[in-house]
Amino acid sequence: MAGQRARGKSLVIAAVGWVVAIWIFFPIFWMFLTSFKGEAGAIATPPRLFFVPTLESYHEVFQRANYWRVTFNTLGVSIGATVVALLFSIPAAYAMAFLPGKRTRGTLLWMLSTRMLPPVGVLVPIYLIARNTHLLDTVTGLALVDMFTNMPITVWMLYTFFREIPVPILEAGRMDGANRWQEITRVLLPLATPGIASTALLSMILCWNEAFWSLNLTSSNAAPLAAFIASFSSPEGLFFGKLSAASTLAVAPILAFGWISQKQLVRGLTFGAVK
Amino acid sequence: MNTIKAVFSKTAAAFLIAGTILGGGAEIAHADSTLTIATVNNGDMIVMRELSSEFEKAHPGVHLNWVTLEENILRQRVTTDIATGAGQFDVMTIGNYEVPIWAKQKWLVELKPDANYDLDDLIPTVRSGLTVDGKLYAMPFYAESVMTYYRKDLFQKAGLTMPEAPTYDQIRQYADKLTNKSNQIYGVCLRGKPGWGENMAFVTSLANTYGGQWFGMGWKPMLDTPAWKGAINWYVSALNADGPPGATSNGFNENLALFSTGHCAMWIDSTVAGGLLFDPKQSQVADKVGFTASPKGPYGKGPTWLWTWNLAVPASSKHIQDAEAFVTWATSKDYVNLVAQKKGWVAAPAGTRKSTYENAEYQKAAPFAKFVENAINEAGPDAPTAEPRPYTGAQFVSIPQFQAIGTQVGQTIAAALSGQMTVDQALAASQASTTRTMRQTGYLH
């Protein structure tokens, strides 16, 4: 009886899980389907689930824009911003987790508060800084801005992961004569690898999907995938097929990357969940 | 302490290396004569981009870099750039709303084309919208006004005939007869999506012909007048009775999709839809579309609708001469002929040059050509409203604050359309918010 109830419960949980998963995945699936419908098929009512697929939209997207260049720019921005953010965030999180001071908590909250301002509020000052430092429309400029906007999140995440690491392990390292650098590189980092990997992945995804700064700080040379997608939306005329094709191409690399690193990501996100 | 210093110095070194690698890869050197052109993703602009290799051939050493963006993103992007004088763009695609405002700010270069360009060939209403104090600040790429599109087959079946100059009351009567909601046929489709360039373009044009206007002399808002009440009552009641469901999310493209898939019996919108609805590749009703003038309200006169997409050179450009050469080329008679030769006359940029409309081949290829020309000639952005007005503009008010005011009022009108408030409440709220903005910006004392 109890076994049956438990089985019933797990079936309900599985069903709810599937409903939520389908709910989340459906827009992506529909975008993927629309990208093969052509413009007339994309707006057909009632919407068609079965149709003769065409590569017309992809053909036009590749003809009109340089997909490989924008993907390369996006990779440059995402990897660059993530690497530099980690280089700063690891020592910052280390200091806050293991050497907390009177103002550590306040500093952490203050860092997070920078995320509470709508980006458009600082558009003009950042645009002027980028103009004066010749960083407009450069991968470096966009990577720097993405790094600064993501840093509060990376510091917070790493701080949480580091706090889960037992201090006696670090102390044991120190007892064996490890200096601060060795303590971080030989003891802390290997222990926190899943946490660092998931922080890096999250930062990569945030940079990949970032649209506001990507659209405002770049024009042609450093335009990333967000600008590529925006170029296929039109105020006058049908564009759903082409826009879907461009969006599918834009999310494909990060989706594949997410799938490959799924295990690591889940491990990192649940790191320390059970003490 | 030493260890902390070591960690810090190693981190800093890594940062510098990463920065150098990134920086090295990023800054691609520009040739002196590379023009960056910001534009929207509309059909005519896509053709311009395709044919621009002809310009590059004729101007060796001048290379073109294209930045294509969605209209609202483009507007924000180029405004930021021009206001900060950053000089990222050499040619900008802007509307006739921006041209006079930006010209007064001295953000645009005055354009002086030579005699070959034939300035007098430009349609006068279009040209005057780009001229400030007798100086031309942008060149028109294409222009649009407003027309009524209808389904000839549905009219015939219902025994109706569309007059050459319909009134809004007639449109309502026809819409009531043609609506067949069980078959998803809606009598009339109109813009409902809030925005100064979306629902308010149609609503302003509607209010004008009802005898309404945005402001009276002294910049007093006039949104709670009987004329506006009449216009908005017509709009809300017609769309609720005969419009498609969820009309508050329908803009130009959504209505285009609805009409071209056979769900609208009538649609009053931009003349640019003509080319798209008559194209069998994009429209399932290409052989059933009829068109006539935009309807008239009780006032019967007043400005209707004029939107032009123009090419302008920002004062911050570092290649002004080459940029002027490009703008002149893309808006010239030769360019119109080039498009006709490569893409057919139906694809020629509409609404800017008299010579295009005098061309017999264009008249043959675009059956709606004469209507478009008439609609543009009669758009009257400077025409008088029922009472004297301190502003120009047909479906918008040519002041910098209008984007904010128009969008706010647009949201209130959409709220009336969706039944969240009554028409009277919506207009009272619009009057109050517009009065507040006009006070804050110093127009009203």
Residue A225, domain CATH? 1.10.3720.10
Type of residue at B222: M
DSSP bridge partners of B312: B92
Q: Which one of A39, A45, A124 has the shortest CB-CB distance to B80?
A: A124
Cβ neighbours of A238 in B, within 8 Å: 253, 256-257, 260, 276, 282
pLDDT tier, A2 (very low <50, low <70, confident <90, very high otherwise):
low
Query: Which of A57-66, A78-87, B258-267, B279-288 bottoms out in mean pLDDT, i.e. has the lowest?
Result: B279-288
The answer to whether the CB atoms of B67 and A223 lie below 8 A apart is yes
CB B310 within 8 A of CB B186: no
Q: Quick one: tokens of B55?
A: 């310009």
CA distance B425 to chain A (A): 31
Asked whether residue A2 is assigned to any structural domain, the reply reads no
Cβ neighbours of A215 in B, within 8 Å: 69, 73, 77
Asked whether residue A115 is assigned to any structural domain, the reply reads yes
**B29 in contact with chain A, both atoms CB, cutoff 8 A:** no
**B281 in contact with chain A, both atoms CB, cutoff 8 A:** yes
**Statement: residue A73 has pLDDT above 90:** yes
Asked whether residue A60 is assigned to any structural domain, the reply reads no
- Give the separation between CA B364 and CA B377, rounded to whole angstroms: 20
Chain A stretch 178-237, residues whose beta carbon is closer than 8 A to a beta carbon of chain B: 179-181, 184, 215-216, 219-223, 227, 230-237
- Host domain of residue A167: 66-231
Number of structural domains (chain A) is 1
Give the residue on A whose Cα is nearest the Cα of B25: A139
Give the residue on A whose Cα is nearest the Cα of B46: A64
Tokens 């980690």 locate to A86
In terms of Cβ atoms closer than 10 Å to its own Cβ (0-12, 13-18, 19+), residue B295 is: buried
Asked whether residue A153 is assigned to any structural domain, the reply reads yes
The answer to whether the CB atoms of B257 and A238 lie below 8 A apart is yes
Cβ neighbours of A213 in B, within 8 Å: none
All domains of chain B in start order, with CATH: 34-137+307-369 (3.40.190.10), 146-305+383-440 (3.40.190.10)
CA distance B67 to chain A (A): 6
CB B417 within 8 A of CB B239: yes
**B14 in contact with chain A, both atoms CB, cutoff 8 A:** yes
- Give the separation between CA B407 and CA B425, rounded to whole angstroms: 17
Q: Which one of A138, A238, A239 has the shortest CB-CB distance to B26?
A: A138
pLDDT tier, A271 (very low <50, low <70, confident <90, very high otherwise):
low
Q: Which one of A40, A131, A231 has the shortest CB-CB distance to B282?
A: A40
**B105 in contact with chain A, both atoms CB, cutoff 8 A:** no
Asked whether residue A237 is assigned to any structural domain, the reply reads no
Q: Which one of A137, A181, A216 has the shortest CB-CB distance to B80?
A: A216
**B158 in contact with chain A, both atoms CB, cutoff 8 A:** no
Q: Which one of B25, B40, B77 has the shortest CB-CB distance to A215?
A: B77
Residue to substitute from A170, A215, A219, A225, interface B, most B β-carbons within 10 A:
A219
- Give the separation between CA B320 and CA B318, rounded to whole angstroms: 6
Asked whether residue A22 is assigned to any structural domain, the reply reads no
CB B7 within 8 A of CB A183: no
**A173 in contact with chain B, both atoms CB, cutoff 8 A:** no
- Give the separation between CA B142 and CA B132, rounded to whole angstroms: 19
Number of H helices, E strands in chain A: 15, 0
Give the start-end residues of each E strand in B211-323: 215-216, 220-221, 266-270, 289-293, 307-312
Complex-level ipTM: 0.80
Residue A1: predicted pLDDT: 60
Tokens 């180029």 locate to B78
CA distance A5 to chain B (A): 45
The answer to whether the CB atoms of B70 and A220 lie below 8 A apart is no
Contacts of B181 (CB under 8 A, 6+ apart): none
Asked whether residue A20 is assigned to any structural domain, the reply reads no
Give the residue on A whose Cα is nearest the Cα of B263: A45
pLDDT tens, position by position, A101-134 = 999 999 999 998 988 889 989 999 999 999 999 9
Compute φ and ψ for B345, nearest 5 degrees.
Answer: -65, -30
Contacts of B214 (CB under 8 A, 6+ apart): B204, B221, B222, B223, B389, B391, B397, B434
DSSP 3-state of B217: coil
**Statement: residue A273 has pLDDT above 70:** no
CA distance B138 to chain A (A): 21
The answer to whether the CB atoms of A84 and B76 lie below 8 A apart is no
Residue A269: predicted pLDDT: 65
Asked whether residue A109 is assigned to any structural domain, the reply reads yes
Each residue's pLDDT expressed in tens, for chain B with a length of 445 residues: 444 444 444 444 444 344 434 443 333 334 468 999 999 988 889 899 999 999 999 999 999 999 988 888 888 899 889 988 899 999 999 999 999 999 999 999 999 999 999 999 999 999 999 999 999 999 999 999 999 999 999 999 999 999 999 999 999 999 999 999 999 999 999 999 999 999 999 999 999 999 999 999 999 999 999 999 999 999 999 999 999 999 999 999 889 989 999 999 999 999 989 888 888 877 889 999 999 999 999 998 889 999 999 999 999 999 999 999 999 999 999 999 999 999 888 889 999 999 999 999 999 888 888 889 999 998 989 889 999 999 999 999 999 999 999 999 999 999 999 999 999 999 999 999 999 999 999 998 8
Q: Which of A167, A162, A157 is nearest to A265 (CA)?
A: A157
- Give the separation between CA A49 and CA A180, rounded to whole angstroms: 60
